[in-house]
Amino acid sequence: MWQRYRPRPLEIVDTTLREGQQTPLLHDHGKYFLTTEDKRDLLAALIRYGVKFIELFAPVVGPREAEDFVALRQVRDELAPQYGYTFLLAHVRCHPRDVEAAVAAGFNGLNLYFGISPQSRAFNHRKDTETIIYQSRALLEDLRREHPHLVLRFSGEDAFRTPLEDLFQVYDAVAPLVDRLGLPDTVGTATPTQVAKRIQALRARYPDLPLEVHFHDDRGLALVNTLTAVRAGAQYVNTTLLGIGERSGITSMTALLFNLFVDGDYDLVDGYRLRASYPINVLAADKLRCLVPAKEPVSLTNRTHTAGVHQGAVLRHPTTYEAHPLELFGVDEREILLGPLSGWNVVHYFLREIHGFPVDEATAREITVRFKALASRISGDEPPAQLLLRLAREEFHLTPAPPPPPQAPRLLPPPALGPRVQERIQ
Ligand code: HCA
Ligand code: CU
């Protein structure tokens, strides 16, 4: 299968079900782990999205993971006729026992990792470079001999705190035995400049081996580092849905594809169902019992407007404050939140177009002055819409007119607000 697959210019190696399950958010929201059902749904969504490489925990991690693999393999097999084959990869330490269990379980490949950084060597496995090389080579030689069909990747954990000579020493030894080399920024220390340099150095030394990158977001640089790595020639990228992962997580899949698209790298996003980006984020958020994070670029947040000036302009023409084609990524609606910062435009729109009050612009401005004066009282007991309706009725003695004959709303050149927006604005 692997030998016959022609990798695309950018291959997402999704690790939502491995790295993603290490997110503290699962604890914050009292969920702790993804159920088998959750995992099946997420895997199916990723396969439909166009992801061909999925990283899972190795079976040695625990009985739950081992059992779930059987269910996940079934999902993959069921979807293969329609969506093509998806490679399920086990994330494993370079330990013969761990590796044997993953191979016996029926994984298509192994994402092997071994810490080479001074920190890993001193405080993690306590092995010197010679031992790392000896053990990794022995394991890989056996694997290559016994299971030539497996996809093999080798990563030096904490690669960006590993001196380049040390990385080269180990990678030189394993390179002839693997399908690709990984470069994980385990603790999120890397900067784009360092990333570009390292990728170039590895590309020059191993011109025939694809590189795989994995960036943690401790400095908030995961996305820009990933973009830099891809542009410097990394072909495989580890991502998760919503960017979830250990600590602040890694690169979000949809954030990456969205940015590549916005920058015009269409060949790199080819093969991914971009329109399913927002729905897949909502699915992941739902599984975590949270909302799509506000910092996720492919979010409804990025089509939500609260300040009066913004709202007025967006009602006139959305491009004033929406620069990106988020609708191509499945964010089909926008929200204009009626609230303490809203101006007369939205008050007018809300009362007239949504609630049918016969209110002219001058009255809308007067109502807005009252609404703003009382804005500090807005609370869960009397939310903004309720306050505004009360003012219109009680202080301005307005009553809604019978619904007008259907016609395009006056303020909106294109029909700018979706049904959901109307709900939110009410
Ligand atoms: C970890 C391991 C890892 C592995 C990445 C990889 C990292 O959880 O410590 O295998 O490429 O960030 O180094 O996620
Ligand atoms: Cu990681």
Q: Over the stretch 282-327, which tens digit does the pLDDT of each residue have?
A: 999 999 999 999 999 999 999 999 999 999 999 999 999 999 999 9
Task: Name the residue among 238, 237, 227, 235 with its Cα closest to residue 297.
Answer: 227
| Helix residue ranges, H only, 114-221 | 118-123, 129-146, 164-174, 192-205
Q: What mean pLDDT do residues 35-45 have?
A: 98
What single DSSP character describes residue 293? P
Are residues 257 and 277 in contact, defined by beta-carbon separation less than 8 angstroms? yes
For residue 118, the model assigns a pLDDT of 80
Mean pLDDT rounded to a whole number for the chain: 92
Q: What is the separation, in whole angstroms, between the first and last Cα of the chain?
A: 54
Using the atom order of ligand 1, give the atom closest to the CA of residue 91.
Answer: 10
Q: Where are the beta strands (DSSP E) in 191-334?
A: 211-215, 236-239, 304-305
Substitution candidate for ligand 1 out of 11, 12, 14, 19 with most atoms within 8 A of CB: 19
Pairing of strands 304-305, 53-57: unpaired
Are residues 162 and 116 in contact, defined by beta-carbon separation less than 8 angstroms? yes
Secondary structure class of 366 (helix, strand, coil): helix
Which residues are placed with Cβ below 5 angstroms of ligand 2, an ion? 19
For residue 241, the model assigns a pLDDT of 98
Are residues 38 and 287 in contact, defined by beta-carbon separation less than 8 angstroms? yes
364 CB burial (10 A radius; 0-12, 13-18, 19+) = buried
Sign of CA dihedral 401, 406, 412, 416: positive
Rounded distance, CA 309 to CA 325, Å? 21
Residues contacting residue 32 through CB under 8 Å, at least 6 positions apart: 26
Are residues 72 and 39 in contact, defined by beta-carbon separation less than 8 angstroms? yes
Ligand 1 binding pocket (C-beta < 6 A) is 19, 91, 111, 113, 155, 157, 182, 184, 186, 214, 216, 246
What's the Cα-to-Cα distance from 267 to each of 10, 255, 283, 305, 329, rounded to whole Å?
8, 17, 27, 33, 16
Secondary structure class of 344 (helix, strand, coil): helix
Note the pTM of the prediction, 2 decimals. 0.91
Residues contacting residue 331 through CB under 8 Å, at least 6 positions apart: 278, 298, 299, 300, 302, 303
**pLDDT exceeds cutoff 60 at 418:** no
Secondary structure class of 338 (helix, strand, coil): coil
201 CB burial (10 A radius; 0-12, 13-18, 19+) = middle
Q: Which bound ligand lies closest to the C-alpha atom of 184?
A: 1
**pLDDT exceeds cutoff 60 at 412:** no
Max Cα–Cα distance, the chain, nearest Å: 85
Residues contacting residue 56 through CB under 8 Å, at least 6 positions apart: 17, 18, 65, 69, 72, 88, 89, 90, 91, 107
Distance 186 CA to ligand 2 centre (A): 5
Q: Which bound ligand lies closest to the C-alpha atom of 212?
A: 1
Token duo for residue 152? 């093999």
How many Cα atoms sit within 13 Å of 370 on the Cβ side?
A: 16
Task: pLDDT band for 426, please (50, 70, 90 cuts).
Answer: very low
Which helix (H) or strand (E) element contains residue 101? Answer: helix 96-105
Greater model confidence, 350 or 121: 350
Q: What mean pLDDT do residues 168-188 have?
A: 97
The residue whose CA has the least distance to atom 6 of ligand 1 is: 184
Token duo for residue 290? 């949270």
Token duo for residue 380? 């869960």
For residue 269, the model assigns a pLDDT of 98
What single DSSP character describes residue 406? S
Task: pLDDT band for 352, please (50, 70, 90 cuts).
Answer: very high
Q: What mean pLDDT do residues 173-202 have?
A: 98
For residue 423, the model assigns a pLDDT of 38
229 CB burial (10 A radius; 0-12, 13-18, 19+) = buried
For residue 123, the model assigns a pLDDT of 79
Substitution candidate for ligand 1 out of 186, 212, 240, 251 with most atoms within 8 A of CB: 186
Using the atom order of ligand 1, give the atom closest to the CA of residue 214.
Answer: 11
